Structure 1
Amino acid sequence: MATSHESLWSTAVRLRGNPRAAVWTEPMWGLSMALVLPYASVYMLALGLSDQQIGLLATIGILSQTVFGLLGGVITDKLGRRATTAVFDLVAWSVPCLIWAVAQNFWFFLGASLVNGAWQVTQNSWDCLLVEDAEPRLITRVYSLVRVAADLSALFAPVAAVLVARFGLEPAVRILYVNAFVVMTAKVWILYRASHETDVGRLRMTQVAGRSTWSLLREYRGVGAVIRRSPGTLYSVAVMAVVAAVALVTGTFWQIAVSQRLGVPDALLPFFPMARSILSMLFFFTLIPRLTGGAQLRRPTRWGFVAYLAGQLLLVAIPAADGARTSTYLLLGVTLVLDGFGGGILAMLAESLVALHVDKLERSRVMAMQRTAVMLVTAPFGWIAGWLSGVDRSWPFVLTSSLLVLGLVLTGWAPTLPQHDVDEPPLPVPPGPETARGM
């Protein structure tokens, strides 16, 4: 049994079962999609798309995610957490990677965005696979480890930079998308082999067996009532919506602003997320565990919003230039420190708050409803940010700053947040063969 004073690394070593399988396969994201994401927006620009079209694609992608997200809870309960994760990871990542690799114009990206929206199904099932067999006291640590595992992608950023410098932007990005297809497909297979269906998953599969998808969807009305009666759940949804909207805008337009407004060469673009990830990882092993070790999460949430807001405002304040100067890189370095802490802790806390408030037996459906609500709120911000970027490439970050101010206000109104160190009673699990393989 882990203690609250145990180091993050010790927790990672002691994990077993599904949490171990999910956490230890997550670094493969860094060998696949994380290599190409720093170039995704400038790749679209290189193929002739406008800022407005890129923003529109972001909004369409969110709308696609909304549809899949609404179905995610039902699919996860009917197929089980393990099978759903495997099937929809292939649909949501392997297939779009091949489309992006051969893309020629807006319509290729549109098709890939619509298919890629299926990742919201696997986000639901993967979250359940990750936490349902984990001790409640370890949930914030497990999500911290997931963030650290994703941040390990920073170590591979020079590979993308070398390819771009050697072959040019467009050919290099096509190569990176093919690589992402191969590695993500391998990740799906390894996670499937190393995991097993959760106790809650087996119970839910038994409960919904023989029932139609539509009858299960109709029950979402009752799930919505459960969410509305829980102030903590409503607060966690609000925080997640703000964090998601900021992540959508920054993930889409940060590289464009740095490349086109501040004059940073394309070959250097992956080094910025690399630095941000390294800093975030350091924070997760040092400062963040100290801030989130207590029972109350309101204060670290507030600190996360303040740091993230400061980073966004500083990015807006950096003077535009045809070519990046030394002062530009120094100021960008400061923004990366602030973003690495603020963005990292908020992403972890947003997921943790949701997991801590969800009723165990209703986890997949409640989380599906939460994500659907979040995506409906988030969807317009891609198009809005695209329009703003077409006017001035600093304006999307004025928008994100405003959203983070809203997050600070919401944190001031937050209800008492839960303790995360109390064990829950075991669930009544129906008899069935044990399929755990361990790792």
Structure 2
Amino acid sequence: MIRARNPLWRTFLELRGNPRACVWTEPLWGLSMALVLPYASVFMLALGLQDAQIGLLATISMLSQVVFGLAGGIITDRLGRRVTTAWFDVIAWVIPCVVWAFAENFWFFLVASLVNGALQVTQNSWDCLMVEDAERDQITRIYSLVKVAADCSALFAPLAAFLVAQLGLEPAVRILYVNAAVVMLVKIIWLYLWSRETRQGQVRMAATRGQSVWQLLAGYRGALGLLFRSRGSFLALGVAALTAAVVLVNGTFWQVVASEHLNVPHEFLPYFPMVRSVLSVTFFFTLIPLLTTAVDLKRATLLGFGVHLAGQVVLVAIPAADGAATPSTYAFLGVCLLLDSFGAGLLFMLSESLVALHVDPGERSRVMALQRTFIMLGAAPFGWISGWLSGIDRTYPFVLTSVLLVVGLVLVATRWVPTHHAGPDDAALVADPA
């Protein structure tokens, strides 16, 4: 076995079983959805949608995720982690990509957004598939590797930029959506063949065999009890919901503010996620491992919220461009990307890890389904709100995210619950600290 000094690189090399299958297939995201996502909102604008409609679609997508997310625990336990991930990845990504590729108006995007909500089912099953057979002390590094894999995928962004420059925005984006459908299908098949059902998944499949849907729904009462008794789970929910809301707004309107407010040409848009991703990968292999090896993750979480807040403030402060974007505009955007790549990357990994660390292992599927339902409910209104704000001023959505990040700082500073306990007698309290 090759020995590596960097703990993240060492984890990558030593992964086995389902964690390796999940992490090692994740870069295919870069040859599929990562190529087209930078253009999603400006593509809608090009087809005549308004800012408020784009924000409404983001909220509808979140609400659809709430419904699917609540059913996700039942589906994952009944079908198993592996089968659920395969079928619902097809529903959540392949089918919507085909609809987006042929979209003509708001109604196409509405249908695709509703179907795309199924991603919460596969997010739940995929998380269980990835971490249930993993060592507990590997979880933060596994989620770090997932983020690194997603970030590395953005290195393919110049392919999208070249296509847009040669064909124009609308035809290029349609081709990219078709490509995303095909590559995602390859990823789904590869992961299914490489993975195996988890030990806990086999237990839950046996336990739910022969039970009706209503009996399985009734089982959520016990999962709710576990959730409500855990202050750590409440903290994880708050951090994850705030992070999800900020991600929703940035994912929907960052490219809009760059294109429409700062006059960045369309063909340049994919380079910003690429630069952000390169910076994020660099941080994950250098600074972030040093910050997340401590027993408690409070300081790292505060740092994530603070640095991400600084990046959002810089974005709001960039002067609007009267004509073409100036060198100073790109310099400010570079500072924004530097701060966001560190803050957002750290928050993504920590928010996912906190949810996983505070969950009861025996009820992981149903509890995580409930957690994700509450997270989506908390984040959902901010799609419509940010769309309404963007219609007034394209920088206002990022004033909103700045406020949300301040709330996150206050929450972590005042309501933190430790993620680990030093004494062996405290081990049982990790999932349910009193």
Aligned-partner Cα distance in 2 for 1:420–1:166: 57
> Is the Cα–Cα contact under 8 Å of residues 138 and 420 in structure 1 kept in the other structure?
no
Question: Which residue does the alignment assign to 1:346?
Answer: 347
Question: Which residue does the alignment assign to 2:20?
Answer: 20
> Alignment identity in percent?
64
Matched, 1:153 2:141: no
Q: Note the C-alpha offset of 1:5.
A: 7.1
> Is the Cα–Cα contact under 8 Å of residues 2 and 11 in structure 1 kept in the other structure?
no
Question: Which residue does the alignment assign to 1:80?
Answer: 80
Aligned-partner Cα distance in 1 for 2:371–2:16: 28
Q: Aligned runs of 1:97-246 on 2, under 5 Å?
A: 97-246=97-246
> Is the Cα–Cα contact under 8 Å of residues 30 and 156 in structure 1 kept in the other structure?
yes
Unaligned segments of structure 1, at least 5 residues: 426-439
> Is the Cα–Cα contact under 8 Å of residues 223 and 366 in structure 2 kept in the other structure?
yes
> Is the Cα–Cα contact under 8 Å of residues 136 and 420 in structure 1 kept in the other structure?
no
Q: Note the C-alpha offset of 1:223.
A: 1.3
**Could you give the per-residue CA deviations for residues 403-434 of structure 1, whole angstroms, max 9, x where no partner exists?**
00000000112333222999999xxxxxxxxx
> Is the Cα–Cα contact under 8 Å of residues 132 and 200 in structure 1 kept in the other structure?
yes
> Is the Cα–Cα contact under 8 Å of residues 3 and 10 in structure 2 kept in the other structure?
no
Q: Note the C-alpha offset of 1:213.
A: 1.5
Secondary structure of the residue aligned to 2:263 is coil
Question: Which residue does the alignment assign to 1:433?
Answer: none
Question: Which residue does the alignment assign to 2:69?
Answer: 69
> Is the Cα–Cα contact under 8 Å of residues 152 and 278 in structure 1 kept in the other structure?
yes
**Which range moves more in the overlay, 210-219 or 251-260?**
210-219
Question: Which residue does the alignment assign to 1:303?
Answer: 303
Aligned-partner Cα distance in 2 for 1:73–1:370: 10
Secondary structure of the residue aligned to 2:415 is coil
Q: Note the C-alpha offset of 1:219.
A: 2.0
Question: Which residue does the alignment assign to 2:266?
Answer: 266
Secondary structure of the residue aligned to 1:417 is coil
Matched, 1:53 2:28: no
Cα 1:303–1:98 shift into 2, 3 Å: same
Cα 1:371–1:263 shift into 2, 3 Å: same
Aligned-partner Cα distance in 1 for 2:340–2:357: 25
**Could you give the per-residue CA deviations for residues 314-356 of structure 1, whole angstroms, max 9, x where no partner exists?**
1000000132100000000000010000000000000000111
Q: Note the C-alpha offset of 1:6.
A: 5.0
Aligned-partner Cα distance in 1 for 2:271–2:142: 27
Cα 1:257–1:213 shift into 2, 3 Å: same
> Is the Cα–Cα contact under 8 Å of residues 308 and 341 in structure 1 kept in the other structure?
yes
RMSD in angstroms over aligned alpha carbons? Answer: 1.8
> Is the Cα–Cα contact under 8 Å of residues 79 and 205 in structure 2 kept in the other structure?
yes
> Is the Cα–Cα contact under 8 Å of residues 136 and 421 in structure 1 kept in the other structure?
no
Q: Note the C-alpha offset of 1:7.
A: 2.2
Unaligned segments of structure 2, at least 5 residues: 429-434
Aligned-partner Cα distance in 2 for 1:421–1:99: 51
Equivalent AA in structure 1 for residue 252 of structure 2: T
> Is the Cα–Cα contact under 8 Å of residues 137 and 420 in structure 1 kept in the other structure?
no
TM-score computed with the length of structure 1 as normaliser: 0.95
Q: Note the C-alpha offset of 1:228.
A: 1.2
Question: Which residue does the alignment assign to 2:382?
Answer: 381
Count residues in correspondence. 425
Question: Which residue does the alignment assign to 1:403?
Answer: 404
Q: Aligned runs of 1:279-298 on 2, under 5 Å?
A: 279-298=279-298
Secondary structure of the residue aligned to 1:293 is coil
Question: Which residue does the alignment assign to 2:38?
Answer: 38
Aligned-partner Cα distance in 1 for 2:214–2:179: 38
Equivalent AA in structure 1 for residue 312 of structure 2: Q
Cα 1:325–1:310 shift into 2, 3 Å: same
Secondary structure of the residue aligned to 2:31 is coil
**Which range moves more in the overlay, 397-406 or 226-235?**
226-235
